[in-house]
Structure 1
Amino acid sequence: MTARRLCLRNLLFAVLPCVISFAIPSALADGCQLDVQGEGVVSAVIDARTLRLEDGREVRLAGVEVVARDSDNRRSSLASLIGQHVILRGEHGDPDRYGRQSSFLFLEHAASSVQSELLARGEALASADVADKGCAAELATAETGARQARLGIWAESSVIKSAEHPEEILTRIGRFAIVEGHVRTVRQAGGTLYLNFGPRWTRDFAATIPRRTMPSFKAAGVAPTSFEHRRVRVRGWVDRRGGPRIEVLRVGQIEVAGD
């Protein structure tokens, strides 16, 4: 993020602290330029990630996740979009099983997506499930800036769970979470690679990489074995198989802490 863009954002937020603002010059775009899926006017906010357009379509914000306890506040933030004309961009136009369209939202003439601004204000977490490299990089940069500045949810110390406390991670079963810790070992078992954060597989946290995900790591030039003895952050949906687990389906779900 350039210093000019940061100054513009700070100025906008100082003037309009309760309204999401996206009036950033197109010259400062970060590269998230997906195909246009359509457009419409926002008529309602259904939840912290879902909006309804005047024509009845429901749009799910792609590329971000929310922390459940803060969802009401973020729903209020999205309320500023009601009545606004938005452009939908995405990697594919197929609706999900609930009939919702997963898209990046842009106000007219805005370079940054709604998602990027939510992340930059510490009001969401990057989900790391975006295939487009430009969009993924933009979201990661926005989240990193908020984390370093301790904005929004990042003002709380509990956003990132410690791998040393698996009992706390288990409270997030079925939910999205970020876990940070030291990878003790990397081991193969059947068709799954395990990044073990503790010595007890029945109790400690582990990130699992299924065989079908390995080609994407190879294409990215990342060897999962290189994470051994390093401190990393893993993000994804928490499951329980013995101890708490997060299945890694995309390379972006793992990052070396500090990088």
Structure 2
Amino acid sequence: MSTLLMAVPGAAPALSQTCDALQAGPSGRVVAISDGDTVDLDTGLTVRLVGIQAPKLPLGRDGFEAWPLGDEAKAAIEDLVMGRDVTLYYGGENRDRHGRALAHVVVERNGTEIWVQAEMLRLGLARVYSFPDNRSCLDVLYAAEAQGRADRLGIWRDPYYAIRDGGDHQALLEREGGYELVEGRVLNAERVGSRVYLNFGRVWREDFTAVIESAGLRVFEQAGIDPLGFDNAVIRVRGWIESADGPRIDITHPEQIEVLARP
């Protein structure tokens, strides 16, 4: 996605009307729900809703603190699909290392097809979360997320999920280990060896940087996008905050970047 998609008012779009890049998979009835983006079917298949990340719950992990609104996200998806038949659609890698299906999920309610990922985003109870091997339909999901954010629903009222300032490296370091949305102006886009650095400050050993490694650069090249073209653009990036010569996010595919303004 090369530009920020504006949200459209109303309910989340139906998958069949907005994305034809997916292949239909199996169907099954939802019999259990772990959290806001993971469900179990009566076929024995566990489904991770690809393309989104809902607030995380501990799920038995020692010392893990629930993210705000985790219970609300779980309740919302329970209301949408619990006990109902759903159909899976695949748009990339269809299994993760745990054997879970990586799928888009569609449920029919009162004669209306509901794309569960888009609805969770529209409700403000998830954020777009993508991988280089699963990038289908992300433009529509970004639009649904933007709608939830514009309406200040769910997570968008909670400071825990606030969009971070790319110019405030100290505040970003305090979010190390977290999945964050960070925006600001790229003061310098530079290729050094096999990497591209998108620098949000002048002091590269301290300031926030988005880093594209060689594998990511191949994905950008395949998409026909030159990351050096982000120089002086205002962008929003999303990913996990790490600390290495200041805070950084590793960029593995173009859809992690939304362009808000070009010079």
Normalised to the residue count of structure 2, the TM-score between the two structures is 0.81
- The corresponding residue for 2:152 is 150
Query: Aligned match of 1:55 in 31, 43, 59?
Result: 43
Q: Please, which moves more after superposition, 208-217 or 50-59?
A: 208-217
- The corresponding residue for 1:73 is 72
Write out the 4+ residue segments of structure 1 that deviate beyond 4 Å after TM superposition.
109-112, 130-134
- Mapped partners of 2:14, 2:252: distance in 1: 35
- Write out aligned runs for 1:77-92 (5 A): 77-80=76-79, 81-92=81-92
- Write out aligned runs for 1:33-44 (5 A): 33-44=21-32
Q: Please, which moves more after superposition, 167-176 or 140-149?
A: 167-176
- Mapped partners of 1:155, 1:123: distance in 2: 11
In the superposition, relative to structure 1, how do residues 134 and 103 fare at CA in structure 2: closer, same or farther (>3 Å)?
Answer: closer
Q: Please, which moves more after superposition, 36-45 or 147-156?
A: 147-156
- Mapped partners of 1:118, 1:207: distance in 2: 27
Query: Aligned match of 1:193 in 176, 192, 196?
Result: 196
Give yes or no for contact 1:43–1:53 (8 Å, CA) kept in 2: yes
Give yes or no for contact 1:161–1:169 (8 Å, CA) kept in 2: yes
Q: CA deviation at 1:151?
A: 2.4
Give yes or no for contact 1:235–1:254 (8 Å, CA) kept in 2: yes
- Mapped partners of 1:96, 1:105: distance in 2: 16
Unmatched segments (≥5 aa) in structure 2 = 56-66
- The corresponding residue for 1:176 is 179
Give yes or no for contact 2:104–2:116 (8 Å, CA) kept in 1: yes
Number of equivalenced pairs: 243
- Mapped partners of 1:36, 1:112: distance in 2: 15
User: Could you report, residue by residue, the CA deviation over 1:39-95 in whole angstroms, capped at 9, with x for unpaired residues?
Assistant: 111111112221111233211110011343222210111111210100011124643
Q: CA deviation at 1:155?
A: 2.9
1:106 and 2:106 correspond: yes
User: Could you report, residue by residue, the CA deviation over 1:164-212 in whole angstroms, capped at 9, with x for unpaired residues?
Assistant: 2223223333332110111111122221110011122222110001122
- Mapped partners of 2:252, 2:69: distance in 1: 26
In the superposition, relative to structure 1, how do residues 132 and 46 fare at CA in structure 2: closer, same or farther (>3 Å)?
Answer: closer
Q: Please, which moves more after superposition, 197-206 or 213-222?
A: 213-222
In the superposition, relative to structure 1, how do residues 186 and 25 fare at CA in structure 2: closer, same or farther (>3 Å)?
Answer: closer
- Write out aligned runs for 1:1-259 (5 A): 6-7=9-10, 9=11, 29-67=17-55, 68-80=67-79, 81-92=81-92, 94-108=94-108, 110-129=112-131, 135-156=137-158, 158-257=161-260
More helix by share: 1
Unmatched segments (≥5 aa) in structure 1 = 10-21
- The corresponding residue for 1:13 is none
- Mapped partners of 1:208, 1:92: distance in 2: 24
Secondary structure at the counterpart of residue 257 of structure 1: strand
Normalised to the residue count of structure 1, the TM-score between the two structures is 0.82
User: Could you report, residue by residue, the CA deviation over 1:4-41 in whole angstroms, capped at 9, with x for unpaired residues?
Assistant: x844x3xxxxxxxxxxxx8x778x71125511221111
Give yes or no for contact 1:210–1:249 (8 Å, CA) kept in 2: yes
Q: Please, which moves more after superposition, 155-164 or 40-49?
A: 155-164
Q: Please, which moves more after superposition, 201-210 or 122-131?
A: 122-131
The amino acid of 1:55's aligned partner reads: T
- Mapped partners of 1:44, 1:133: distance in 2: 27
In the superposition, relative to structure 1, how do residues 25 and 74 fare at CA in structure 2: closer, same or farther (>3 Å)?
Answer: closer
